[in-house]
Homo-oligomer: A and B are copies of this chain.
Amino acid sequence: MKKPLIKSISKYVKLNSEEENLIETFWIEKTLEKGDYLLRNGETCKTDNFVVSGTLKAFYINSETGKEEIVYFAIENWWATDIDSFQKQKPSIYNIQAIEKTILLQIHYDSFQEMLRKVPKLERFFRIILENYLGSLQRRIVLNHVLDAEQRYFDFIEKYPKIANKVPNYLIASYLGITAEFLSRIRKKTRTS
């Protein structure tokens, strides 16, 4: 069960089998059923969470509309962690919930620090995946105001085809900042053109 994590790390950092075994000892498997919360607004994010299988949504409630707004989705080989809450061990301002049965690998905050001390080359792995995520988040912020809704949808399905297949349309609409009805019109238009 811990192989997908090792495989993910090995994309960026070469590990020998001793290091692989050592890293594996720090992680604990956890299963969430559909609807289970991994983290609730106000709780401290005590673990860093690697998704082995399943899908989660990170979201908060818009104070003006009362509606759910998506911060991000997490599917297999992604991470589902409130990094601000985890890094500073302070309460989170959003929620993370499984939208289908999900299997995670979790590492506690203290174990995370210890793992980095024992395998310092992991710093490189986390540096690179943080760059990747930060880059895609900045890109999303800008494109949300530069592209129109239709272009954003095509950008999304091109970049995240797996998420587009797994996540209900009303959540994709929320992620894109459009209504579900508008997304449905875009999809219909695409199929008939």
Residue A136 lies at the interface, judged by CB distance under 8 Å to chain B: yes
* Residues of B contacting A132 in the complex (Cβ-Cβ under 8 angstroms): 87
Cβ-defined partner of A71 (8 Å) among B62, B136, B142: B142
A123-B131 CB under 8 A given contacts A82-B138, A84-B136, A137-B137: no
* Residues of B contacting A136 in the complex (Cβ-Cβ under 8 angstroms): 84
Instruction: Using CB atoms, name the residue of chain B closest to A64.
Output: B145
Residue A193 lies at the interface, judged by CB distance under 8 Å to chain B: no
In which size bucket is the chain A interface? 35 or more
Other A-B contacts than A121-B123, A130-B134, A137-B137, 11 sampled, CB-CB below 8 A, are: A60-B142, A63-B148, A82-B138, A85-B135, A87-B135, A94-B142, A123-B124, A126-B127, A133-B134, A137-B138, A141-B141
B62 touches A135 (CB 8 A): no
* Residues of B contacting A131 in the complex (Cβ-Cβ under 8 angstroms): 83, 87, 130
Give 6 pairs: A residue, B residue, CB < 8 Å, sorted on A: A63-B145, A63-B146, A84-B139, A94-B142, A127-B130, A130-B130
